């Protein structure tokens, strides 16, 4: 099974914090919070999303139904991210993230200039950061630095492995 350039994922309810990180990395990651396993599998198949789950029984069910699925083990998000990339390699799934997305709602972020965020972010942030993004979906602001940098750094460590 080879899926070229997959950025579309659906993440099961146990992996919410992983879903938020994957959006920042540039994946179109739907977080499937409510609904049955059957509904989850239907969504993965109809929307052509790769299913990420830490539930072995569900991953076996997915495979039996022909839904691409990656089993994600590990207890921290870092371990889970590493598991994601190695599981993708082992399954012939090519992960290809696009532009960063909002961690909250998954919309692709728009770049903003420093001048545009004046008054919208704390003084100390405005003084020390130059690159900003806004989510057109929910209006949340992001800036490169701090949490963001740690996340991107984590993703590049994981991707290079
Ligand atoms: Zn948003």
Q: What is the pLDDT of residues 103-123, one digit of tens each?
A: 999 999 999 888 888 888 888
Give the pLDDT mean for 87-102.
89
Q: How far is the CA of 161 from the centre of ligand 1 (A)?
A: 30
Q: Name which of 79, 58, 100 is nearest 70 in CA terms.
A: 58
- Domain 3-95 in CATH 1.10.3470: no
Q: Give the model confidence (pLDDT) of 35-62 as tens digits.
A: 999 999 999 999 999 999 999 999 999 9
Please state the pTM of the whole predicted model: 0.85
Q: How far is the CA of 81 from the centre of ligand 1 (A)?
A: 22
**Per DSSP, which regions of the chain are E strands?**
3-6, 8-12, 28-32, 50-53, 69-71, 93-95, 110-112, 132-134, 141-143
Q: How far is the CA of 129 from the centre of ligand 1 (A)?
A: 20
Q: How far apart are the first and last CA of the chain?
A: 22
Q: Where are the chain's structural domains?
A: 3-95
């Amino acid at each position: 099974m080879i899926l070229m350039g997959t950025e579309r994922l659906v993440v099961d309810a146990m992996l919410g914090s992983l879903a938020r990180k994957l959006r920042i990395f540039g994946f179109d990651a739907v977080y499937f919070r409510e609904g049955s396993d059957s509904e989850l599998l239907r969504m993965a198949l109809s929307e052509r999303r790769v299913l990420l789950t830490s539930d072995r029984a569900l991953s076996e069910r997915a495979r039996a139904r022909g839904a691409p699925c990656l089993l994600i083990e590990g207890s921290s998000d870092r371990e889970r991210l590493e598991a994601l990339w190695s599981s993708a390699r082992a399954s012939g799934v090519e992960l290809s993230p696009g532009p960063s997305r909002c961690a909250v709602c998954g919309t692709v972020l728009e770049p903003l200039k420093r001048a545009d965020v004046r008054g919208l972010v704390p003084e100390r942030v405005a003084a020390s950061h130059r690159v900003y993004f806004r989510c057109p979906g929910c209006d949340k602001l992001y800036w490169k630095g701090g949490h963001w940098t740690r996340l991107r750094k984590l993703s590049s460590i994981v991707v290079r492995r």
